[in-house]
Chains A and B, each alone.
Chain A
C-alpha cells in the first residue's frame, strides 16, 4: 500500500510508540497522584509540554494545554474568545473552525467569512476589511488542509491587531505543526495543533495560548488538570507519543520539507495533464498536492485507487446533498472540477519510488474511467 493520505492521518511512528510504551505498560500512574510514580509521569508531561511549546513559540509568552484533538483546541479557543459582536474567519477554514463559527449565530454573535483566492489562501485585504471595532475573534487557518495553501498568519494577525487591538487571533495549525518552520508572534493568541498528523496518535492535541490573552473559559470542568484550563486525567501515553513523534519530526523538518517538495513536483510532473488540473499552489506546503480530474468523480477514483494499492484523499466525502468540498468550491472552481478532486499528501516516510509508482497507478485508473 502506497499511503498518500497523510493529511488525513499518519501512521504512528514506531520509535515514538516504542519510547512511549512504558507509560502504557509500566508507568500508568495518574500524573496527579502524590507518590513517586505519579510524580514521574507528571515530569514527563512537563517535558513534553515544554518541548512542544518551545519548538514554535517563546515559553515566556505562551503556554500549552493538551486537549483530545485539534478540533477541541479550536472549539476551546473560539467559544472562549467570541463572546459578543462579530467574529471573522476565512472561507477556507477546516470544519472544526467553520462549523463552530456558524454556530456562533445562535449565541447572538455574527460570523463573517472572508473569501479565499483560487489556491485556497485567504484574501487578506478582504479579511481585514471585515474586522471592525465589534470584532472579538479572527480565525485564519495556517495551512489549508484541502489545497495546501499557506497563509502568512504573522502578517495577517498584525494587520488585524492594528485595526482592532482587542480582537483575539486564532490560527488552526494542524497541517503546519511539525511540517513547516513556525514561530508564533505576539499578535497570535491561539494556535491549535494535533498529534496524529505528525506520527502521533489520534486522541491527542494541544492548544497554544498567549499568556497575556485573558479570553479563556474552560469548558471541561473537573479536577483542575492543565492549570484548570482542561480538566480530565491526561492521556499520558498519547502525550508521550506526541512528544517523541515531534522530536523526530523537528529534527529533520527542513530537510524533509525540501525533499517532499521535490516529490510533490515530481508527482505533478508525472500526472497526465490532459486529465488532471492542479489546485495546490507551488508555494504551498510541500506535504499536499491537490488536483482535479475534470469530469471524473474523485470519490470513485479514490476507491478504485485503494483497490489498486494507493490511498489518497478527496475533496470531501460524497453525500447526496452536496457531494463536493465547501473549501474548494469557495476557491471558485466549477462543478465539473469540484467532483473530481483528489488530494495526495505526503509524510517523511514517503519515498521517491512510491511517488513515481503512485503517479502511474493514478494515471491508469483515471484513464480507465474516462
Chain B
C-alpha cells in the first residue's frame, strides 16, 4: 500500500485523436507544478497518480495540483493490491473512527470476483467491526470511503473528491499578451484565458516618476501569483511617461485616457508580435469606467490587427472580486500604491469619443516616434 494523490482530468477525454497531445502537455504542466518536491508521476487509465513522496509534502502537493488547469478533481488516498485484506487496511486509514459513513465502489476491473454492491456491504461491515462507533448512512453520510478497483490487481481507496481548477492544460491554446495593471481585473482576465489553455505573457505600463516603484513591485507580485496558474516567468514593463506628458500638453483633456489606451495597444501589439503572442488580453469590463465603453473599446481596437480578448467583458465588479479572491490576487491588488498618474486624469473623460475627433487630436502627436521611444524602454523582470 502506498499513499498517492489521484488526479482526474477535465475535458481532455473529449479531444478524440488529439487526446495524446493534450495529455502530454498536461503531464508536463503537472511535473512543472511539482518542481522541487520529490515524487513520481504515473499514468493510470484516465488518471494520473502522484506517488513516492514524503508524507509531510502531501498537503503541498494537493495545493499545487489544485492550481493546474485541466485537473477536474483530485483525492489523497492509497494505492493497494485489490485483495480484500489490502483494501480493508487502506479503508481503515481513510475512514474516521466515528460518525456515519458509506462505502462507494467503482469497479473498473469487470473481472473482479465481487460486484460493487457486494464490496460495499463487505467492506462496510468490516469497518463497523473495526470501529464500533461508526454507523451506516447511505443517504447523507458524514464520511465516504471510495473504492476504485482497477485492472491489474490494483485498487485506489480514498475519502474525498476535491475540485480542481478545471479548464484546459496551459499551452494547448496558443499564447496571449496580458496588459496587467495593478488593479483587480487584469489578473483575473489572465487567469480566465490561462484556464482555457492559453500561455500568458505579462506586459505592464508605468509612468515613473508619476507612479512609484512600489506600484511596479505590486504588479510583479500579481504576475508572480498568476504565473502559478498561467505559466510565464517574465514581466515586461514599458514606460508611457513621455506619451502621457505629450498628450497632456497637446490634446483635448477629455481624451487623455482614450488616447493613452490607443498608445498602449499599439505598443502591446508590437511587443506581442515579438514575443510570439497571438492576441492581446485585457481586464476590461463593459461600462466599468469611462474608457471601457463600447466606443472606447472600438477606438482601441481600431489601432491594432491582433484580436483583443476581454474575458471579463460581461462581468460585474463583484463577480470579478470573487474570482480575484479565489485566485489569491485580491489582497495584493487592493494595496494602496497607484495613481499618482491621476495628475493626468481629466475631470470629465469622454465616455463616447468619436473616432474622427480622436484621430484629429492624435494627429497633433508624433505617434510612431512616441511608440518607438516607449518600446525602447522595455524592461524584463524575472518572476
Contacts and interface: CB of A to CB of B under 8 A. Distances in A.
Interface string A63-100: 00000000000000000000000000000000000000
Interface stretch (B87-95, B207-215, B219-227): B207-215
Interface stretch (B14-22, B322-330, B332-340): B332-340
Interface residues of B, number: 11
Contacts of A321: 336
A297 interface: yes
Contact of A320 (B208, B210, B338): B338
A270 B343 CA distance: 28
A319 B208 contact: no
Interface in A267-306: 297, 299-300, 303-304
Given A320-B336, A321-B336, A299 B342 contact: no
A300 B210 contact: yes
B343 A297 contact: yes
A318 B335 CA distance: 12
Contacts of B210: 297, 300
A324 to B, nearest CB: 12
Given A307-B209, A318-B212, A300 B336 contact: no
A323 B209 contact: no
A299 B339 CA distance: 11
Contacts of B208: 303
A317 B208 CA distance: 15
A320 B340 CA distance: 8
Given A318-B212, A319-B337, A300 B342 contact: no
B142 to A, nearest CB: 39
Closest 5 CB pairs of A and B: A303-B209, A319-B336, A320-B339, A320-B338, A318-B340
Contacts of B338: 319-320
Given A307-B209, A318-B212, A300 B343 contact: yes
Interface of A: 297, 299-300, 303-304, 307, 317-321, 323
A300 B337 contact: no
Contacts of A323: 339-340
Nearest to A322: B336
A318 B342 CA distance: 11
Contacts of B342: 320
B340 A297 contact: yes
Given A299-B340, A300-B340, A303-B208, 15 more contacts: A297-B343, A299-B212, A300-B209, A300-B210, A300-B343, A303-B209, A304-B209, A318-B212, A318-B340, A319-B337, A319-B338, A320-B336, A320-B339, A323-B339, A323-B340
13 contacts: A297-B210, A297-B340, A297-B343, A299-B340, A300-B209, A300-B343, A303-B209, A303-B212, A304-B209, A307-B209, A319-B338, A320-B342, A323-B340
Interface in B317-374: 336-340, 342-343
Contacts of B209: 300, 303-304, 307
Contacts of B337: 317-319
A321 B339 CA distance: 10
Contacts of A318: 212, 337, 339-340
Contacts of B343: 297, 300
Most chain A CB within a 10 A radius of its CB, from B208, B336, B338, B342: B336
Contacts of B339: 318-320, 323
A163 to B, nearest CB: 40
A304 to B, nearest CB: 5
A329 B337 CA distance: 20
A95 B2 CA distance: 56
A1 to B, nearest CB: 16
A300 B213 CA distance: 11
A297 B336 CA distance: 17
Nearest to B209: A303
A299 B343 CA distance: 12
Nearest to A296: B343
A321 B209 CA distance: 19
A323 B211 CA distance: 12
Contacts of A320: 336, 338-339, 342
Nearest to B341: A300
Nearest to B340: A318
Contacts of A299: 212, 340
Nearest to A303: B209
A162 B83 CA distance: 89
Contacts of A319: 336-339
A297 B342 CA distance: 11
A321 B336 CA distance: 7
A130 B207 CA distance: 47
Contacts of B340: 297, 299-300, 318, 323
A55 B339 CA distance: 46
A304 B336 CA distance: 21
A99 B51 CA distance: 51
